[in-house]
Amino acid sequence: MRRIPLSLIIGLVLLGGLGVVLLLPFLCDLPHPQQGVLLQMEGRRLVAPPYQPGQLGYVLGSDFLGRDYWSRLVYGARITVGLALMINLIRFALALPVGLQAGWRRGWLARAVQAAAAGFGSLPALVLVYIVLRGLWPFFLGGNAWMVAYVLVLGLAGAPRIAEQVRRRTEEIALMPHVEAAQALGARPARILRRHVLPIMRADLLVMAPSEMAWVLMIMAQLAVFGVHPGGAVQVETISGNIAVAEYLPEWGQMLGTNIPYLLSYPWLPFYPGLAIGLTAAGFHLLAEGLRERDLMVR
């Protein structure tokens, strides 16, 4: 009996928990993530948000607008995972066909893919994406245009690296006897790639997909810490007269980045979204590692 890698088991458990969180809005009645309560009675005194975890029935506390933090984390899972999924779909939609053609045809296309991967890899991905998004920020303030630009930039940033990985693997598979036999029999390149190359590459793609999800989630969190996130923020005047900033969109990265300044005074505000991103990214990473280990065992 083959041993199941421990990393695969832990990854599946973490992602199973993510699946439960994604289904929670359909399974139970949660407060609306944008509905808050600015003043409440606690015994004989009037209290204002942010409410601490466990206070007044708020399991994970609330933000400065009195919005239930547990509810915002649950609804935010859809947005964060959905954005990461769209970014990865863009990456693979661009990288897979280009990498396959570059690995099969070689020549100038292979050199172009190698140059693009080397160029994008010469700078840390975080720095590169941050500079581009900060440069685009003034042109896309407000509305859905900024969200589209955010997704496209993150998608394009990782496509050359994936294309290079696909190119290398395609070149290896192209030297296999059954591929050379199909070529000798006159099969068209498109048919060879579809029928003989992609099936062998399926295991590699199955490992790459969750690994890229983990990478995207982490860079989304890092960008948010530096003030780049998909949604906007609102200013709130607290009961003491201070001005606080609260995120508008219940997205984990934005919830983390917006509330980083309040880490010492209200630690639950950045802690819970950071924990959510970390566990989700760890789940995808461990899933990729487990699939890689399992593939090595099978070979």
pLDDT digits (tens, 9 = 90+) for 247-295: 888 999 999 989 998 999 899 999 999 999 999 999 999 999 998 887 7
Structure-token match 């959905």, residue found? 82
The Cα–Cα gap between 237 and 8 comes to: 47
Residues for the chain: how many in total?
Answer: 299
More confident residue, 80 or 4: 80
pTM over 0.85: yes
Q: Which amino acid is at 65?
A: L
For the segment 84-101, what is each residue's pLDDT rounded down to a tens digit? 999 999 999 999 999 999
| Residue 261, number of CB atoms within 10 A of its CB | 13
Q: How confident is the model at residue 12 (pLDDT cuts 50, 70, 90)?
A: very high
Those residues with Cβ within 8 angstroms of residue 40's Cβ, 6 or more apart along the chain or in another chain = 46, 47, 51, 56, 66
Q: What are phi and psi of 41, to 5 degrees?
A: -90, 130
pLDDT digits (tens, 9 = 90+) for 170-207: 988 888 888 888 778 777 888 888 888 888 888 889 99
Highest mean pLDDT of the ranges 42-46, 155-159, 279-283: 279-283
**Mean pLDDT on 99-122:** 87
Q: What is the mean predicted confidence (pLDDT) over 14-40?
A: 89
Phi, psi of 240 (to 5 degrees): -85, 0
- The secondary structure of the chain, three-state, reads CCCCCHHHHHHHHHHHHHHHHHHHHHHCCCCCCCCECCCEEECCEEECCCCCCCHHHCCCCECCCCEEHHHHHHHHHHHHHHHHHHHHHHHHHHHHHHHHHHHHHCHHHHHHHHHHHHHHHCCCHHHHHHHHHHHHHHHCCCCCHHHHHHHHHHHHHHHHHHHHHHHHHHHHHHCCHHHHHHHHCCCCHHHHHHHHHHHHHHHHHHHHHHHHHHHHHHHHHHHHHCCCCCCCEEEEECCCCCEEEEECCCCHHHHHHHHHHHCCCCCHHHHHHHHHHHHHHHHHHHHHHHHHHHHHHHC
